[in-house]
Structure formats: C-alpha cells, structure tokens
Amino acid sequence: IALIKIKKRVPRMSLRNAIDLTGRRILLTGATGGIGAATARACASLGVERLILADAGPQEALDALCQELRDHGVDTVGHQCDVSRRQDNADLVAAAGELDAAVACAGICPLEEDWADDPDWDEVFHRVMDVNLLGPIHLARELIPRMASWGGGQIVMIGSIGGRMGGTSPIVQPHYIASKGGVHALIWWLAQRAAPQGVLVNGIAPGPIASAMTATTPYPKDQYPLGRIGEPEEIAWPAAFLCSPAATYFSGSILDVNGGLFVG
C-alpha cells in the first residue's frame, strides 16, 4: 500500500511589526514627568505622526520636551493642563483633534504629611484624589465618545503596584494607595462600557520607578527580586505597546510591570 505524505499546513503569519505607531496621533498627560517623557520618546521612536503633550508643570519643561521631539521629526504640540479640572480636560481634548490613543500619566505622591497626625492631611488627600483619580475620569469622559465617533481608540491609564499590594515603601501615604487602587477599578469599569464602542481601556501598574517623584523615597532595593527599582523606559515601552495595533485585543487589562515585586 502506497503511503501518501500529507504536508502539514502552517498558518501564515504577518512579518510586519505591529508595535508600530506610524500615522498615529497620541495624547499624553503628565508628559514632562519621568514616565510621561519616556513614553513620549518611545512613541516618537515608533513613528508616531503627532504627539499632543499636556502637563501642569513649568512651561519651560514642556516647551523643551516638545522641541526635542520636533528636532527628531515628530509633529509635537504642548498644552498646559491641570487634569484635576474638568474644563482643562475638555479644552485639551477639543484642541487635540482626532486621536488614536491617549496615555494618562499625570499623578502626584506627596510624602511629607502624616495621615494620622497632620491636621491638614485631608486637604492633601482631596488634591491627590483630584489629580490621580478624578483626572483620568475627566479625560475618559471627553475621549470615549469622541473616539467612538472616530471609529475607536486606545486609552492607557497609569496605576501603581501600590494599588495592588498597598505600596512598597513605608512612607507612601494612604491617599496615593487609595487613588491608584481607584484607577485600577476605573479601568475595569470603563473597559466594560467602552469596548462595545471600539474604545479599548487598559492600564499599567508600575513598581517603584526612578523619577523625581521617587528620588527621596527609601526603598529596600536589596529585598527586591531584581535588586533595583525600574527605569521610566521600562514603563514607556509597555505604554507604547498598548497604544499600538499589536494591542487590539487588550481591554480591561492591567499590566504588572514591577520586576517581580508583585505576582498575582
């Protein structure tokens, strides 16, 4: 009996790198911070067509980052924006025009106050919540219906390992932890409502990252699996990925990027 050799059919795979932002327009808040600036640079290196950068910090820092990216051939505009203000977000999104993706990087983490003894701590709590949690809510409120009308889009929100496990330094205050846990819950809530409209909402929960925010925070690095804290670029690349065509089946995901500090 003659044996018939059957050739196994192998599915064809595209060789195109889908982690490619060519032609995309991306908005970033908190753009001059460590993670924000690194994300802007990562997006620029992946061929983004236009970057809209927003920050509440010094205008000089925002102008310098915009000029740096323009010098590398990226169409970049900057806007002053306090994300805690609803109208600032509305003005920002209206000025940005049609967008493919947005990354909400703006955040604060005050360390000086003592939640148990400081009589003014409650005021600081409300400011942290206004920036870290109400800010992403304001942004999503403006973006989701517009992105739906444009045929879809991708939104990335920066949470924190603190929202997963209560923090990795004893001096981090509960307002920050509560705000980032709220960001995670917001991502899940928004994802369920936005996905049917073609808008994908995801997040990243970074471990401790070297930045101005963490420069004065003591971390027990020798107890960490990698023996160090992370670099801004190690969050920027996952953020850029979540803005790319390679992430079009992500919805309601929170990427834990923490060097093995939290596994769950």
Q: How far apart are CA 246 and CA 202, in angstroms?
A: 13
Task: Give the model confidence (pLDDT) of 50-96 as tens digits.
Answer: 999 999 999 999 999 999 999 999 999 999 999 999 999 999 999 99
Which pLDDT does position 14 carry in this prediction? 61
In angstroms, the CA 261 to CA 197 distance is 35
Average pLDDT over residues 114-139: 93
CA gap 256, 151 in Å, rounded: 29
One-character DSSP codes across 113-145: --TTT-TTHHHHHHHHHIIIIIHHHHHHHHHHH
Tell me the HSE value of 157 on the side-chain side, using a 13 A CA sphere: 34
Q: What is the pLDDT of residues 198-253, one digit of tens each?
A: 999 999 999 999 987 777 777 888 888 999 999 999 999 999 999 999 999 999 99
pLDDT one-digit tens code per residue, 5-44: 444 444 555 667 899 999 999 999 999 999 999 999 999 9
Does the pLDDT value for residue 192 go beyond 50? yes
For residue 4, is pLDDT > 70? no
d(CA 60, CA 64): 6
Nearest to 29 by CA among 129, 136, 122: 136
Catalytic site positions: 176
**Residue 99 DSSP SS3:** coil
123-133 average pLDDT score: 97
* pLDDT for 13: 54
Average of per-residue pLDDT across 125-151: 98
pLDDT band at 130 (very low <50, low <70, confident <90, very high): very high
Which pLDDT does position 188 carry in this prediction?
98
- Tokens read off for 117: 């003894």
User: Distance between CA atoms of 149 and 250, rounded to whole angstroms?
Assistant: 20
